[in-house]
Amino acid sequence: MRSAKDFFKPLAVGAPRPVTEVPARPSRVIHFFDPSNEKMAAKIPSMVGTVDVLLGNLEDAVKADKKVAAREGLVKIAKATDFGENTQLWTRVNALDSPWVLDDLVTLVTEIGDKLDVIMVPKVEGPEDIHYVDRLLAQLEARAGLQRPILVHAILETARGMANVEEICGASPRMQGLSLGPADLAADRRMKTTRVGGGHPGYLVRQDPPAGVDDAVHADRATYQQDLWHYTIARMVDACAMHGILPYYGPFGDIKDVVACEDQFRNAFLLGCVGTWSLHPVQIEIAKRVFSPSAEDVAHARRVVEAMGDGTGAVMLDGKMEDDASLKQCLVIVELAERLSRTDPELAQLYAA
Ligand code: 1VU
Ligand code: MG
């Protein structure tokens, strides 16, 4: 066990000091692209400023014979692009048991470590995976002479990862956040779904039969579809909040179903997630809209803050009781709106109106 006093010491001589807090930069939308796909890669410079995060994906969805091209493509894009103040550059490296990950980490940190904000690590199973990456990154940062540490984001996509979620979140000061990996997690859990995220029409509850009806099977009874991911996302949110890091939804694979995509994103937003992935340009606007509070919610939250004065006691507002606890919820909304307004002039105008 490491001593608490050692936690914020660099893990290699010459590596930058670990951060004590996750930097408060917007990350409502983490936009995935395949750097080995020339058409997609060509679009990336023009997407700077339109998304909070551009993520060069090296793992699943990149063909095995394109892994090296994807890595080299990402290096080329990162070197040639100025990402500005408002767009971060992240990558998703290959899994820790794959033949590619060591070269992914060595190449990316030494070649473009100064441009990379966060490395997403897939299929994290326990704190030992984070410890491995933590030390290796420190060694590579020292070699590259980096001035700030690269942060780590874990994807939860195995039952063991879920069982160890709190320890993963607390494994290193580098931990920036967690995403849900619903497709791999479903397979690992032996769920009987075949989709990438989202609900399933078979996962439902049925209304009771009317009183006195014997043949309940044939009675006309309403059904209500349930959220397959509620437990998992709620557990992730608690683990992240406990350790001061950020929870995210993940992929929604039905690109054409923009309505269900928005619903899934909103469920995650309401439960506490700060952002999500976008896999296709059509999902970017949905993610930005859903993960920014509405003008009405911000206006209401500000009214509560004003009505609560010094923040103690109870008041009536529009027939509802407000007190210290509702004030705290409103402050979450107001602080998020203020943070987003600093980098998004359209939202600043919307929230000022
Ligand atoms: O109009 P153009 O032909 O010039 O461009 C196409 C296409 O190249 C472009 N485009 C993208 N540009 C930037 N980033 C993207 N992610 C992106 N996706 C597409 O937009 C134009 C229209 O494209 P389209 O509608 O014809 O779509 P395609 O059939 O070309 O591509 C669809 C897929 C889903 C294959 C593509 O969007 C993609 O590969 N997205 C990323 C997938 C990914 O990263 N998956 C891994 C994360 S999910 C996971 O691991 C769990 C399962
Ligand atoms: Mg996966």
177-197 pLDDT, tens digit each = 999 999 999 999 999 999 999
Tell me the CA–centroid distance for residue 278 and ligand 1, in Å: 10
| Neighbouring residues of 162: CB distance < 8 A, sequence distance ≥ 6 | 156, 185, 232, 235
Task: Using alpha carbons only, give the angle 274, 263, 35 rounded to the nearest 5 degrees.
Answer: 60
Judge if ipTM > 0.95: yes
Nearest CA to ligand 1 atom 28: 280
The per-residue pLDDT for 215 is: 64
The per-residue pLDDT for 94 is: 98
CA distance 169 to 126: 9
The per-residue pLDDT for 107 is: 98
The per-residue pLDDT for 125 is: 98
* Ligand 1 cavity residues, CB under 6 Å: 32-34, 39-40, 43, 57, 60-61, 183, 196, 251, 255, 279-281
CA atoms within 13 A on the CB side of 207: 11
The per-residue pLDDT for 59 is: 98
CA distance 92 to 123: 11
Is the distance from CB of 255 to CB of 198 less than 8 angstroms? no
The per-residue pLDDT for 218 is: 64
The per-residue pLDDT for 210 is: 82
Tell me the CA–centroid distance for residue 90 and ligand 1, in Å: 17
Residue 254 CA: distances (Å) to CA of 205, 336, 342: 24, 29, 33
CA distance 278 to 37: 17
Residue 335 phi, psi (nearest 5):
-65, -40
| Neighbouring residues of 346: CB distance < 8 A, sequence distance ≥ 6 | none
List 290's β-bridge partners, or say none: none
* H-only helix segments in the chain: 38-47, 67-80, 101-112, 127-144, 159-163, 165-169, 182-189, 230-243, 258-271, 282-290, 295-307, 324-343, 345-352
> Which stretches in the chain have pLDDT values below 70?
214-219
Tell me the CA–centroid distance for residue 40 and ligand 1, in Å: 7
| The amino acid at 31 | H
Residue 335 CA: distances (Å) to CA of 86, 147, 263, 342: 18, 29, 24, 11
313: left (phi over 0), alpha (psi -120 to 50) or beta: left
The per-residue pLDDT for 217 is: 67
CA distance 234 to 53: 24
The per-residue pLDDT for 159 is: 98
| Neighbouring residues of 30: CB distance < 8 A, sequence distance ≥ 6 | 51, 52, 53, 55, 90, 179, 248, 275, 276, 277, 278
Pocket test for ligand 1, best of 37, 279, 285 (most atoms within 8 A of CB): 279
CA distance 52 to 55: 10
Tell me the CA–centroid distance for residue 170 and ligand 2, in Å: 22
Q: Which pTM value belongs to this model?
A: 0.96
Is the distance from CB of 87 to CB of 51 less than 8 angstroms? yes
